[in-house]
Structure 1
Amino acid sequence: MKLYKVDAIVLRSREMRDADRILTLLSRQKGKIKAVAHGVNKPSSRKRGAVQPFCYSSFLLYRGRELDSVNQCEGIEAFSGLRADLDRISYASYLAELTDSASMEDQIDGEAFFLLLTILHLISRDGADVELLTRSFEIRLLDIAGLRPHLDNCVGCGVPVESETVGFSSSTGGVVCGRCSGIAGDVKFFPRGTVEILKLLLKWDLKKTERIKVPPRVRQQLRQIMQNYISYHLEKKLATALFLEKLYYHY
């Protein structure tokens, strides 16, 4: 059938013509989809509210030769708590770009959809630890995408890494022991506790993330590990990650 229905989160929305926009959607039913929404920039458009970035909406799409098109759409959740707060909307923009970059079109991936939907709900809440939730999202999305770093055994020799200082290499895919520290030129050393927190974030109940007490220095180390790793494996630095660095992280 030419028409099909999906529930989706708007990852990206960019202008195509004066009144049209191209949407990148992450749907529960069909994974990542690109579609054109005709006329949504017009003030009178009923679709306008449902196609804003980070909106969770129901779409009726028409399958086209190159791009599908939005026939109807209705908002389910706008996450209004994000939009009045610079911190939250900046991080939400990063989460959306990361999801877009780590997802393939037409590859059904319900896990990534529900992970992003959960995180958007959580960072919209008052008192949310947005930075730590972002680290949790990063490591979990990498796990879903098959890119999760090795955090237990040395990627060089395979032995458990139990020293108080742990080497980490983005290019070789995870932790390295002291003997294998020359395995790559990008090995950096971190306290063992920092890597243990990263492992904890992979398994911890997302709704209880604020219970994990992480000092500023360790937060900086977690961000450094994840950003270097993500940039290496995606082969680019995300624009929203650069924006966050300029906005918050001047060390």
Structure 2
Amino acid sequence: MSKLYAAQAIIIKARDFGEADKILTLYTREYGKFQAIAKGVRKSTSRLRGGVQMFAHTRLLLYRGKSLDLVSQAENMDSFGALREDLERLVYASYVMELLEHAVPEREPNERIFLTTLMTLGLLQGEDPELVCRMYEIKLLYLLGYHPHLTDCILCGKPLGNSSFYLSPEQGGLVCQSCAGSEKHDGLLAAGTVLAIQKLLTMDPRQLFRLKISPGQRREMEKAIEHYLIYHLERAINAKKVMKDLLHSLKPKS
């Protein structure tokens, strides 16, 4: 088997290593997630520099190594430069990358996750990065096989109607207030919020910015989906706290 191979990659993470190298965490279309080393990339003369920036969509030529594969060539397909030029979008994009890193296993390719992430990076350059993140979260849950049941109570079958439901990660979907009883859940979802989540999952992403969701629905949605993700990933995403702190600091002072 040849030691040289090509891959399309999204750069999830890049950390300094040694005097001039970087260790990259890649999510590739063909091979899934893995790490590789880019030798000498921090030198100003390196031809790899433009192709291995955070968030970049890159065509790579790699060489199989004993511990880490080596990046031999990098051709930038889309740098998503706007994500690094705006602090708010930078934090949202960093959250998406950290979520992806912790959600997918090593060396298990999933083309739909790759393409969904690529689409999300493009949409994050638009006008509503918060809504883009909510869409990515629910689509990622679906593609990982954790998609919550969202049409009625998963325990008794009570239809959505105009009622409020809990989103239970333990049960795998909506639970009505009667079935929940005294069991603790992380917040109620109004019927309109549930419908908004359904739309985020099924709608054409190109129509995303036409979707109108009230501030109250956004808060409900964020809290419920975050709780659902933490349960299934078995960890909190550090970038989420950074994102919340940043958004709080950017709010106008009354």
Q: For the superposition of Structure 1 and Structure 2, which TM-score range results when normalised by the shorter chain?
A: over 0.9
Residues 34-49 of structure 1 aligned to structure 2 (within 5 Å): 34-49=35-50
Q: What residue is the counterpart of 2:89 in the other structure?
A: 88
Gaps of 5+ in 2: none
CA distance in 2, matches of 1:134, 1:167: 21
Q: What residue is the counterpart of 2:103 in the other structure?
A: 102
- Kept after mapping to 1: 8 A contact 2:189/2:221: no
- Kept after mapping to 1: 8 A contact 2:10/2:27: yes
Q: What residue is the counterpart of 1:111 in the other structure?
A: 112
- Kept after mapping to 2: 8 A contact 1:169/1:188: no
Gaps of 5+ in 1: none
Go from structure 1 to structure 2 and tell me whether the alpha carbon gap of 1:162 and 1:183 turns closer, same or farther (over 3 Å shift).
farther
Q: Shift in Å at residue 220 of structure 1?
A: 1.1
Q: What residue is the counterpart of 1:7 in the other structure?
A: 8
CA distance in 2, matches of 1:83, 1:16: 21
SS at match of 1:179: helix
Q: What letter matches 1:121 in structure 2?
A: G
Residues 161-176 of structure 1 aligned to structure 2 (within 5 Å): 161-176=160-175
CA distance in 1, matches of 2:202, 2:195: 11
Q: What residue is the counterpart of 1:75 in the other structure?
A: 76
User: Could you tell me the TM-score, scaled by structure 2's length?
Assistant: 0.92
SS at match of 2:149: coil
Residues 54-203 of structure 1 aligned to structure 2 (within 5 Å): 54-125=55-126, 128-182=127-181, 184-203=183-202
- Kept after mapping to 1: 8 A contact 2:166/2:185: no
Q: What letter matches 2:170 in structure 1?
A: S
Q: What letter matches 1:73 in structure 2?
A: A
- Kept after mapping to 1: 8 A contact 2:16/2:22: yes
Deviates more, 1:180-189 or 1:42-51: 180-189
Go from structure 1 to structure 2 and tell me whether the alpha carbon gap of 1:219 and 1:62 turns closer, same or farther (over 3 Å shift).
same
Q: Shift in Å at residue 89 of structure 1?
A: 1.1
Q: What letter matches 2:128 in structure 1?
A: D
Q: Percent identity?
A: 38
Is 1:25 the counterpart of 2:34? The answer is: no
- Kept after mapping to 2: 8 A contact 1:13/1:53: yes
- The alignment of Structure 1 onto Structure 2 pairs a total of residues equal to 249
Q: What residue is the counterpart of 1:212 in the other structure?
A: 211
Q: Shift in Å at residue 21 of structure 1?
A: 1.2
Q: What letter matches 1:186 in structure 2?
A: H
- Kept after mapping to 2: 8 A contact 1:38/1:70: yes
Q: Shift in Å at residue 249 of structure 1?
A: 4.5
Q: Shift in Å at residue 96 of structure 1?
A: 0.8
